[in-house]
Amino acid sequence: MLLGFSSALLIGITEGLMYLLVTLGFFMTLKVWNFFNVWHVSVVTLAAYLTYHFYYILHLPLTFSIILSILVVIGIGLLIAKYLYHPLQGSSFTQMILSLGLVFATQATLEMIFGSNPVPYNSPLPAVNFLGVSLTSVLISILSLVLAGSLWYFLRKTRRGRIVYSFSDNPLLAEFRGRNPETIFIYTWTISLILAALAGIFSGWSLTLVPTMGWQLIIIVFSITLLGFTRLEGIVVSSLVIGISMSLGVYFLLPSSYKLAIPLTILIIVYIVRKYR
């Protein structure tokens, strides 16, 4: 019993940190541009498929495949951000509707190229487990914490990061002080896309890689973001809360097929509490 609980707890922590990795890029666009970029989860999926294609199909070196996938994601993402999102700046609802359309378009494109069945996107690391936690999960957890810490340091301790952060707090004041919105736009989206690409490349090793993978993540990402009150420190904590809740919920109560009901329930509760408190 104790061993099973310890295993579920460890799995919950590592899964929570994996979800943190997926949420970081979403947090950037929400924090700075104040809109729910639902397409973020499709970027995560796209990056995983690109790495799968470069590494497993074309047999390119892993490091080169990862770098190439990130560059392709940045290229596609900046074009979409500049020519589709940017003209709609100031209309968060319209941007969100557009992002939903991009989710369907990305999913349809991936299904057309790779099919709708899962692809064998397996981790290249040795299959070593401790209490149900794989070496891959440990790597993802470490990467997630390093990226979260790096993002916090960039936003709070560097000059460019403080410019981005000040823009998110008061765009008009930031522009009055000479901050260039176009520069901030490029910084924000580039960072968000890199984070999304890394999330897809590495978390895809622990998830089932299908074109609809993004839909499985969006509820979790929304729950983590709202529970964390859209603050980076809060998102780190809420990702652990979500991950542990899902793992322990399956261990004590629910079949694994109902796992997503846990973050959905938390999302509804948080929304109601924040609306009526």
From residue 177, alpha-carbon distances to 156, 170, 180 in Å are 18, 11, 9
Whether the Cβ atoms of residue 34 and residue 94 lie closer than 8 Å to each other? no
How many angstroms separate the CA atoms of 78 and 80, rounded? 5
How far is Cα of residue 106 from the mean position of the Cα atoms in its chain? 16
How many angstroms separate the CA atoms of 277 and 275, rounded? 6
How many angstroms separate the CA atoms of 210 and 264, rounded? 21
Whether the Cβ atoms of residue 29 and residue 225 lie closer than 8 Å to each other? no
Whether the Cβ atoms of residue 89 and residue 33 lie closer than 8 Å to each other? yes
For the chain, 277 residues long, give each residue's pLDDT as a single digit of tens. Answer: 555 667 777 878 888 888 888 898 888 888 877 788 899 999 999 999 999 999 989 999 999 999 999 999 999 999 998 888 888 877 878 888 999 999 999 999 999 999 888 887 777 766 666 666 677 778 888 888 898 899 888 888 887 777 777 666 665 555 545 566 677 778 888 989 998 999 888 888 877 789 988 888 888 888 888 888 777 888 989 998 998 888 888 777 777 677 778 888 888 887 787 777 6
